[in-house]
Structure 1
Amino acid sequence: MIRYFSTLALAAAAAFVTCESKAEKVVIYQEGQQVNPQDVAAVLGRSRSIQLLDDAPAAAPAPAAPTAIKTVAHVSRPASPKPAATAPAAGRDDAKAQPAALSLPVLFAFDSSDILPAARPQLDALARGIQLLAPDRTVTVEGHTDAAGEDAYNAGLSRARASAVRDYLVQHHGIAAARLKTVGYGESRPVEGADPYAAVNRRVQFRGS
């Protein structure tokens, strides 16, 4: 596994799963898992953030680790996660693939775009990661829902939730609104391999641009 993944995995004590699919790789956090700002910068900023990780001292292991998976064309039979130092080498192309985005299970009030207090620690860490990026780096905030409800309603709700996350980052962390683009996909991009109604699909994804 290339140095990028070794550094990122050691910094966050992350476990990765791989497959032969050519779908993009996404770092997916579960509710309550600690988000490492340097890992956020590494995913959203690519080469510049990789250098930040290489220069930084090793971080203490997080109490819970995110899992990098492939979404849209999802892993059907993932390999067993292992620590980065001892994990067997993945296929050459898969090892070189960098995560294209990261996903947070942002908690909102039911049927609403109001962000619940439990979601703030992960969003605060994400904001610190964005602040490590170059000033001209923009981030796209993507809203996603599960399949419950009408398509049009879910699309609108996902846009409202993406906008609420953008507003939170602007108002609470001073990130320039111009650096944060928003889009709502509703239920149209579920995590493949998961039940369309599963909670994993109710997420907000972030990608550098």
Structure 2
Amino acid sequence: MGIEKFNTTPKEPEMTRYLSTLALALAAAFLTPQVKAEKVIMYREGQLVSPHDVAAVLGNGTRSIRLLDDGPAAATPTKYVAAAAVALAKTSARPPARAPAAPEDANGDASALSLPVRFAFDSAEIVPAARTQLDALAEGIKLLAPNSIVTVEGHTDAVGSDAYNLDLSRNRARAVRDYLVQRHGIDAARLKTVGYGEARLVEPADPTAAVNRRVQFRGS
């Protein structure tokens, strides 16, 4: 009785499809960029902002600094690192102590910084309490190269409709730009504005959290 032989080699059309699929998979593996978590320096309300640290971040030459906090930071989809020189402002006449620098390779370079700019309710009017941090930010922008561009990003929480929050975030970003131009004489051409509404929440698990309401700045 003869032994029946089975041909295990794929037929030519099947082999062609197999090789094509394999080639596409390999190309995707090599060409897809590695996604890295963005690192943003986040200041809390009342924390001191150093103009030199602002210039370092917006000039893309920053070092990561640990942020003074009462407890561990909550996990977020965006990796937030420590703010530079961010000891809480105190009423004491003694200058606030600077936060110790973390090793340069511990957190890597930050790509942006975030301020908890407060606005009047349902408005783009900047409240006086927010001006101190914005004033320090302006001094940092002045340390950058004259042709450098800074993007001002408006972000809201998830209270209200998507359309409403998008419009509000744009108006608030423009209000911050106008403050920097009118109060500090920064060339308006150097400041771009964009609003993201509630699309980029810091705390997606708590979409109405105050930390989601912020203005971020990045250099280019």
Q: Structure 2 vs 1, CA of residues 126 and 71 (structure 1 numbering), >3 Å: closer, same or farther?
A: farther
User: In the TM superposition, what is the alpha-carbon distance from 1:31 to its structure 2 partner?
Assistant: 0.5
Structure 2: distance between partners of 1:193 and 1:98: 24
Q: Which residue of 2 aligns with 1:73?
A: 77
Q: Is the Cα–Cα contact under 8 Å of residues 24 and 70 in structure 1 kept in the other structure?
A: no
Map of 2:140 onto structure 1:
129
2:55 — aligned with what?
41
Shift of 1:73: 1.9
2:128 counterpart of 1:117? yes
Give the Cα separation in 2 of the matches to 1:98 and 1:66: 20
2:50 alignment partner AA: N
- In structure 1, distance between residues paired with 2:44 and 2:116: 6
Quick one: distance in 1 between partners of 2:205 and 2:54? 24
Q: In the aligned structure 1, how far is the partner of 2:125 from the partner of 2:118?
A: 9
- The 8 Å contact of residues 74 and 193 in structure 1, kept in 2 or not, is answered as no
> How many residues get paired?
164
Q: Is 2:171 the counterpart of 1:167?
A: no
Q: Which residue of 2 aligns with 1:23?
A: 37
> Given the alignment, which residue of 110, 115, 118 partners 1:99?
110
Backbone CA RMSD of aligned residues: 3.0
Question: For 2:202 and 2:48, how far apart are their aligned partners in 1?
Answer: 21
2:156 corresponds to which residue? 145
> Quick one: higher RCO (CA 8 Å, sep 6+), 1 or 2?
1
Which of 21, 28, 32 pairs up with 2:46? 32
Q: Percent identity?
A: 66
Query: Where in structure 2 are there 5+ consecutive unaligned residues?
Result: 1-34, 83-98
Q: SS at 1:34's partner residue?
A: coil
| Structure 2 SS opposite 1:146 | coil
| Secondary structure of the structure 1 residue equivalent to 2:57 | helix
AA at the equivalent of 1:165: V
Contact kept, 8 Å, 1:103 with 1:204, in 2: the verdict is yes
Matched, 1:155 2:166: yes
Runs of 4+ in 1 over 6 A off after TM superposition: 69-72
Post-superposition shift, 1:195?
Answer: 1.2
- Alpha-carbon offset, residue 46 of structure 1: 2.2
What CA deviation, in whole Å up to 9, does each residue of 1:43-71 have, x standing for no partner? 00123x78xxxxxxxxxxxxx8589x899
Cα distance change, pair 66–204 in 1 and its aligned pair in 2 (3 A): farther
Structure 1: unaligned runs, 5 residues or longer: 1-20, 51-63
Distance 1:145 1:41, change over 3 A: same
Of structures 1 and 2, the larger Rg is shown by 2
* Corresponding residue of 1:203: 214
For 2:164, give the aligned amino acid: Y
What is the alpha-carbon distance in structure 1 between the residues aligned to residue 123 and residue 167 of structure 2?
Answer: 11
